[in-house]
A and B are shown apart, each in its own frame.
Chain A
Amino acid sequence: MENAPILVVMAPFIGAYLIPLLGLWWERYCYWVAAAATGLSVLFSLTLVGSVLAQGTIYYTVGGWEPPWGIELVVDPLSAFMCLVVSLVSLLAGAYSRSYIKKELPEGKATSYYTMMLLLTGGLLGVSVTGDLFNLFVMTEIFSVAAYALVPMMGRKGSFLASYRYLILASIGTSLLLLGTGYLYMVTGTLNMADLAARLPVAYAYHPWVVLAALAFFLVAFGVKSALFPLHAWLPDVYTVAPAPVAVLSTLVTKVGAYSLIRVLFSVFGMPLITGAIPVAPALSWMAAAAILAGSVVALQQSDIMRMLAYSSVAHIGYVMLGIGLAVQLGLTGGILHILSHALAKGCLFLCAGAVMYRAGIRRIDDFRGLGYRMPLTMAAFTLAAASIAGIPPTVGFMSKFYLALGAMETGSWVLVAVIVAGSLLTALVYLRVILLMYFGAREGPQLKEEPPLGMLVPIVTLALACAVLGIFVRVPLSLVGPGVRVLLGM
């Protein structure tokens, strides 16, 4: 399957174009088209993983135009890893959506919901496989617009305002992304990432300020996309009003924002420029440390479950960014592994919170009293995912934080090690509060078992089990992350 790099992106896009047509007459088949399209993406991602592991980085030219003129897709181990994470989590979120949107979405929204979901997935996958800076911008805009549109789907109070704020903030970011791309094109005359990496050192010698301005633009753009601490203002409102599966997809959006930052920093600008000429990487790790502490502390104060999970996401994006900022092999491994562990665990938590709202109509954490007996399976999954987020062995969350701590020790910054440990403790506190209420809170009224329908339960349990299983068999994700990091660092 030498065409897998483009097919993994085109499957969701073609599905997204089919659904409006289908929705005119047979709205009930929209779900199956969406499931088939994401399922195909998962298959193509697996193909990509297989061929990357077998033969190394894959290059694919779209339209037969050779790079640097045409758009080139480059799939290295890290891209294949992102494709697999994005498509798998999207598939589970889509499967969950079927029962969820029947109850929670207004009548007649299913068609546009699935269309936007597929556009979002396609855009995220497009960012993951692209080797062209401008294509990165286009794909970023595609998934951003789809994300803005998905947020107010439920029509909750204030959801349009949340989406508007998200749009305004994020479009400042993407405008700067285009401007930064223009700056780099001005001094190098190319948009291909590999070509840029080769020409930037010379360009930096002649026009240092242009290159640095472009770097600053990229940092702001991807900082907004990934909700890095001072730029996270859009995130809590968006997660609070969005449908639960969309919140899961939004965590993928922040992850792909972090991935784009990795791509631009390591594959375009290169290590000498980001650590030597101007200390971007250390600055990034200090911002990340602030994010970890601030996000966790604010999460402790929340009374709404979705808002609590949202602030916890701000903290955990901090972990990913910390890994990027350390810019050493172990730290980067930990950061990228945390993309996986946080996507799985936070996805599971959002889906659990959605299931609780679906069945019991509860949002306030104080109302979680005794819920562990009403929804035993869902809450068991919640506990397992929370354990992974807090970094309790043997979950995958522990492994990623372990690697991060090792990386921080390698660079000798003990303050960062302390921040990682303190952040873990704070996260454990955040989730312990909910778990204690669930299992030990006083039970009132009749206690009926009300698990969510099977279509919602299966994704929840799958994600929770994945947190534990991948933690025990951490070699499996590491077999992709390890080579990916070596490619990034040029080892």
Chain B
Amino acid sequence: MTTVIIRTTARILAPFIQLFGLYVIVHGPISPGGGFQGGVIVGASLILLALSYDLASAEARAGHAIRIAMDSTGSLLFAGIGLLSLLAGGVFMDYGIIPLPLPAAQVRALMILLIGMAIGVHIMALVSTLFLHMAEDHE
């Protein structure tokens, strides 16, 4: 039951929703929000497309393999930053001491941004996979 009005609105809205999601992710370290919230917003835009068009077109934009790959990569990146700080001689997740040619405070800020983005990618893939998987199962 999708009309041309719904489809057009969804098509126009989707990029803005995704942009807002990205904004929430990258502003996570300095404002309310962060990887999870932003990831959910971006993932919701994909769900909107699946609802207003059909499953196949959402699947065409982000296939199963791509979503699983993004899901794993996001979490591995998060764990990887934790392990990097181990290798740099600190404790787990003490990412301030990762040796980069920057002041320690900036390294911390950079790494927390990276972590936020990793979580964002992970959650985005996860939320859309949850929905698409359930919907496919139901058909």
Contact = CB atoms under 8 A, between A and B. Distances in A.
Interface in B31-87: 65, 68-69, 71-73, 75-76, 79, 82-83, 86
Interface stretch (B1-9, B11-19, B22-30, B88-96): B88-96
B121 to A, nearest CB: 12
B91 A61 contact: yes
B interface, by DSSP: helix, strand, loop or mixed? helix
Contacts of A61: 91
Interface residues of A, number: 17
Interface in A150-205: none
A414 B61 CA distance: 70
Contacts of A18: 72, 76
Nearest to A22: B72
Contacts of B96: 64
A441 B86 CA distance: 60
In this complex, which of B68, B72, B83, B94 has the most chain A Cβ atoms within 10 angstroms of its Cβ?
Answer: B72
Contact of A21 (B68, B79, B83): B68
Nearest to B80: A14
A13 interface: yes
Contact of B69 (A13, A21, A63, A64): A21
Contacts of A100: none
Nearest to A5: B92
A18 B73 CA distance: 8
A462 interface: no
Interface string B91-126: 111111000000000000000000000000000000
Contacts of B71: 20
A63 B91 contact: yes
Interface residues of B, number: 19
B66 to A, nearest CB: 10
Given A17-B75, A20-B68, A24-B68, A10 B94 contact: no
Interface in A5-48: 6-7, 10, 13-14, 17-18, 20-21, 23-24
A3 interface: yes
A277 interface: no
Given A21-B68, A21-B73, A24-B68, A10 B91 contact: no
Given A20-B72, A21-B68, A24-B69, A13 B79 contact: yes
Interface string A55-69: 000001111100000
A14 B75 CA distance: 8
A24 B73 CA distance: 13
A3 B92 contact: yes
Contacts of B72: 17-18, 20-21
Contacts of A13: 79
Given A3-B91, A3-B92, A10 B73 contact: no
Contacts of B92: 3, 6, 10, 60, 62-63
A13 B75 CA distance: 9
A60 B91 contact: yes
B76 to A, nearest CB: 5
A10 B76 contact: no
Contacts of B86: 3, 6-7
A23 B69 CA distance: 10
A63 B76 contact: no
Enumerate the 6 nearest inter-chain pairs by beta-carbon distance, A residue then B residue, closest first: A64-B94, A21-B72, A63-B93, A6-B92, A17-B75, A20-B72
22 contacts: A3-B86, A3-B92, A6-B91, A10-B82, A10-B83, A10-B92, A14-B76, A17-B75, A18-B72, A20-B71, A20-B72, A21-B69, A21-B73, A24-B65, A60-B91, A60-B92, A61-B91, A62-B91, A62-B92, A62-B93, A63-B93, A64-B93
Given A3-B86, A23-B68, 6 more contacts: A17-B72, A18-B72, A62-B91, A63-B93, A63-B95, A64-B96
